[in-house]
Amino acid sequence: MKTNEIDILPVSNSVGAEILGINLADTLSDGDYQKIRKALCQWGVLFFKDQDITPDQHLRFGQRFGEPHVSKTISKVSGYPLVGEVRKEPDQRRNIGGNWHTDHSFSETPPLGSILVARELPDNGGDTLFANMSSAFQKLSSGMRKTLAGMSAVHAKKNALQSKNLSADRQVSDDELQSMGQAVREQFIHPVIAKHPETGREILYVNPTYTVRFDGWTEEESKPLLNFLYDQAISPENTCRFQWDEGSVVFWDNRTVWHYAVNDYHGKRRVLHRVSVKGSKVSA
Ligand code: SIN
């Protein structure tokens, strides 16, 4: 198995790089795997263009990085219980992931990352945004960093289901939430400043979709500080935007970046396949 001449082309100074010179339909050599893993940790999200991969090849690529993480709520591709489907139909108004978030931060071990493959795209719109939460941390004053260092925050799944503009197809009422059982009541407390398990970089680990409040604080007390942190995180200098095309594959490091699926293509279909990789406990 040959190691390719991979080129890494950053798309901004803080987040995102295009990877050139690799065909994801091939089995990855150890050398290529290591280059990609290193680039993922460095740039937070990798963009591969002009790829043509089957669901089996998609899964095999993901499995090189770890065991599959299977979301309980997302639909699956027919015949592929480990491959999720991110779909919005022309008659749907809400999309999956239409707000800044870290996938599954309400669970004890959120996924390491996810690999999305474009399957059907609107002729325009439906881009995905990424924000680097390690550089968001770096922008904070030393006083703010010290304050946050000892803090934890509560992340809850129901926060997203009940929000006005988030991932479910519509807003879920209190009664419906009751009937949805234990799965939607999943929540977990994580440190506000986490350490990336591979690079050791510090990461601001809160997000507008799932973080409810700081541990030991009320929601009302938490809101102003959370909103300040969110504003820092989404400054243009800290983000990048990816425009999907036929053949696009995107791999993000869910420990480092937030992502946001732009919902600006009502009346059109958008379908992507998603393979996620199991992660580890979030540690300070
Ligand atoms: C997601 O949040 O996983 C969906 C991202 C996208 O559709 O671009």
Q: What are phi and psi of 142, to 5 degrees?
A: -65, -30
- Provide the number of structural domains found in the chain: 2
Q: What is the pLDDT of residues 99-133, one digit of tens each?
A: 999 999 999 999 999 999 999 999 999 999 999 99
What is the average pLDDT across 30-39? 96
- Please give the pLDDT value at position 138: 97
- CA atoms within 13 A of residue 73's CA, in its CB half-sphere: 18
CB-based contact 71:97 (threshold 8 Å):
no
pLDDT in tens, 268-282: 999 999 999 999 999
Task: Please state, as a whole number, how many other Cβ atoms lie within 10 Å of the Cβ of residue 76.
Answer: 15
Instruction: Verify whether ligand 1 is closer than 6 Å to residue 104 (CB atom).
Output: no
- If you measure from the C-alpha of residue 128 to the centroid of ligand 1, how many angstroms do you get, rounded to a whole number? 7
Q: What is the pLDDT of residues 241-259, one digit of tens each?
A: 999 999 999 999 999 999 9
Any domain includes 182:
yes
Instruction: Please tell me whether residue 173 adopts helix, strand or coil conformation.
Output: coil
Task: State whether the beta carbon of 128 lies less than 6 angstroms from ligand 1.
Answer: yes
Q: Are residues 116 and 176 in the same domain?
A: no
Mutate to test the pocket of ligand 1, among 69, 85, 116 (most ligand atoms within 8 A of CB): 116
Q: In degrees to the nearest 10, what's the CA dihedral of 155, 159, 163, 167?
A: 80
7 lies in the same domain as 119? yes
In whole angstroms, how far apart are CA 64 and each of 93, 100, 229, 263, 278? Answer: 35, 27, 34, 31, 11
* 93-104 residue pLDDT tens: 999 999 999 999
CB of 129 shorter than 6 A to ligand 1: no
Whole-number pLDDT of residue 238: 97
> Ligand 1 mean position to 261 CA, how many Å?
5
Whose Cα sits closest to atom 2 in ligand 1? 97
The answer as to whether 139 is a domain residue is yes
Q: What confidence score (pLDDT) does residue 167 get?
A: 46
**What's the pLDDT tens digit per position in 183-241?**
667 899 999 999 999 999 999 999 999 999 999 999 999 999 999 999 999 999 999 99
Reported confidence tier of residue 12, pLDDT bands at 50, 70, 90: very high
* pLDDT at residue 179, as a whole number: 62
Which residues have CB under 8 Å from 283's CB, separation 6+?
191, 194, 195, 197
Backbone Cα Rg of the chain: 18
The reply to whether 29 and 75 lie within a common domain is yes
Based on the fold, state whether residues 225 and 273 are members of the same structural domain.
no
- Residue 90's CB is within 10 A of a number of other CB atoms, namely 11
Residue in the block written with tokens 């795209």: 121
Which pair of tokens denotes residue 273? 């396949």
Angstrom CA distances, 92 to 124, 207, 264, 267, 270, stand at 17, 25, 12, 8, 11
* Mean pLDDT to the nearest integer, 259-264: 97
Structure tokens at 216: 């030991």
Specify whether 51 is located in the same domain as 138: no
Which tokens in the block code for residue 114?
């996810």
Q: Please report the pLDDT score of residue 165 as a whole number.
A: 46
The count of other CB atoms within 10 Å of the CB of residue 281 is 11
Protein residue whose Cα sits closest to atom 3 of ligand 1: 97
Query: Looking at the whole model, is its pTM more than 0.85?
Result: yes
The reply to whether 283 falls in a domain is no
CATH number at residue 37: 3.60.130.10
Report the candidate in 150, 121, 134 with the shortest Cα–Cα distance to residue 42.
Answer: 134
Phi, psi values for residue 226, rounded to 5°: -60, -45
Q: Are residues 21 and 42 in the same domain?
A: yes
Tokens of 102: 């870290």
69 lines ligand 1 (CB under 6 A): no
Domain membership flag for residue 136: yes
Same domain flag for 11 and 90? yes
> What is the per-residue pLDDT across 132-186, written as a single tens digit (0 to 9) for each?
999 999 999 999 999 999 999 999 998 776 665 444 445 566 666 566 666 667 8
* Mean pLDDT, residues 27-54 taken together: 97
Exposure string (b/e) for 42-55, b if CB count within 10 Å is 16 or more? bbbbbbbeebebeb
Domain that holds residue 76: 3-99+111-126+242-277
